[in-house]
Amino acid sequence: MEPDLSVGLRNWRLASPVIAAAGTFGFGEEYAELYDLAILGAVVTKTLTLCPRAGNPQPRLWETPCGLLNSIGLENPGIDAFCQEILPRVLRLGVPIVVSVFGDDPEEYGELARRIPPNVAALELNLSCPNVPGKSPVLAPTEVAARVAAARASWSGELWVKISPEGDYLGSALAAQDAGADAIVAVNTFRGMAIDLERRAPVFANVMAGLSGPAIKPLSLRIVYELCGVLHIPVIGCGGITSGRDALEFIFAGAHAVQVGTANFLHPLALPRIIREMQEYLRSQGIRNIEEVRGCARKR
Ligand SMILES: Cc1cc2nc3c(=O)[nH]c(=O)nc-3n(C[C@H](O)[C@H](O)[C@H](O)COP(=O)(O)O)c2cc1C
């Protein structure tokens, strides 16, 4: 018998602990042509804002050893165009859809949450985008609490909060939990930069960009391990996962599920492979249910 990969979150059960991360999977439609998305726990949409955004100037991507710097700048069609034109199609893909949103202040998060129809599986608050000109990705815990509370007041469904790996991330996660989050997604990208020697200038117009990919995995794993020691709501690990063994490290550290981003760019079939590798490991160890091993690597 295949090992059971389903995992229970607070209010729903995911068919699989592997979730497509925001901004790296579009709205899922291109990937649905390659494989059956029902094998995933969920797809998180690219982040949506109240008004459409054109995003940052080129270049937007820069490869580093074992990593990727991006400065997309939240290019998106805006929440209303998404809800009217794209969401009805995406809801037919056969996988739970999590809508990611970003606002400039608590009121915008409240407004965005009000516009999301109740038939999406969850709302994910992006409180951590490093690529918005003039905005710091690092919020104080009080600012996190205000944004989560505003969204919570107008959204009664499952609410995920995606935090920055920088600043007081433990305080921010605790503040999000107290303000009504159902799960913490940890983490978004780390701020980094690159300099173009020919132009003698930063590669990115916004100078800083977000670092993702295998380079950040030990850092994001550390943060997930720490968060799982202090939170009582589920943690969804994210950052640098490219294999089933990577994903299992996060589960063993205490995460309920994982999100995978950059690996989708390295190979479009990365997610089915990661799920297969997790199953192979569990089968080889005689583990019938992934929930048996959640947190097994934590010091008691
Ligand atoms: C090109 C690119 C675009 C991204 N866009 C978003 C986004 O719109 N919203 C968001 O919350 N995170 C976004 N992220 C961050 C990822 O969802 C993820 O948190 C981060 O890349 C770390 O995971 P990874 O190493 O598996 O990619 C983006 C990452 C990349 C590489």
DSSP string, 245-289: HHHHHHHHHT-SEEEE-THHHH-TTHHHHHHHHHHHHHHHTT--B
Show the CA angle centred on residue 223, arms to residues 219 and 227, nearest 5°. 170
Q: How many domains does the chain have?
A: 1
Let me know if residue 79 belongs to a domain: yes
Rounded to an integer, what distance in angstroms lies between the CA atom of residue 297 and that of residue 300?
9
Let me know if residue 202 belongs to a domain: no
CB of 240 shorter than 6 A to ligand 1: yes
Rounded to the nearest angstrom, the distance between the alpha carbon of 2 and the centre of ligand 1 is: 31
Q: Which atom of ligand 1 is nearest to the CA of 263?
A: 26
CATH number, domain containing residue 165? 3.20.20.70
- How far is the first Cα of the chain from the last one, in angstroms, to the nearest whole number? 31
Let me know if residue 201 belongs to a domain: no
Q: How high is the pLDDT of residue 128?
A: 83
> Hey, which bits of 9-92 come out as E strands?
13-14, 18-20, 42-44, 61-64, 67-70
Let me know if residue 298 belongs to a domain: no
Q: How high is the pLDDT of residue 1?
A: 80
Q: What is the pLDDT of residues 128-137, one digit of tens each?
A: 877 777 777 7
Q: How high is the pLDDT of residue 51?
A: 97
Q: How high is the pLDDT of residue 300?
A: 65
Nearest CA to ligand 1 atom 21: 212
Range(s) of the domain holding residue 94: 7-55+73-190+212-293
Q: Which residues of the chain have pLDDT under 50?
A: none
Q: What is the pLDDT of residues 33-59, one digit of tens each?
A: 999 999 999 999 999 999 999 999 999
Rounded to the nearest angstrom, the distance between the alpha carbon of 285 and the centre of ligand 1 is: 32
Q: What is the pLDDT of residues 56-81, one digit of tens each?
A: 999 999 999 999 999 999 999 999 99
Let me know if residue 41 belongs to a domain: yes
Let me know if residue 261 belongs to a domain: yes
Number of alpha carbons in the 13 Å side-chain half-sphere of residue 265: 19
CB of 43 shorter than 6 A to ligand 1: no
Let me know if residue 183 belongs to a domain: yes
CB of 99 shorter than 6 A to ligand 1: no
Let me know if residue 166 belongs to a domain: yes
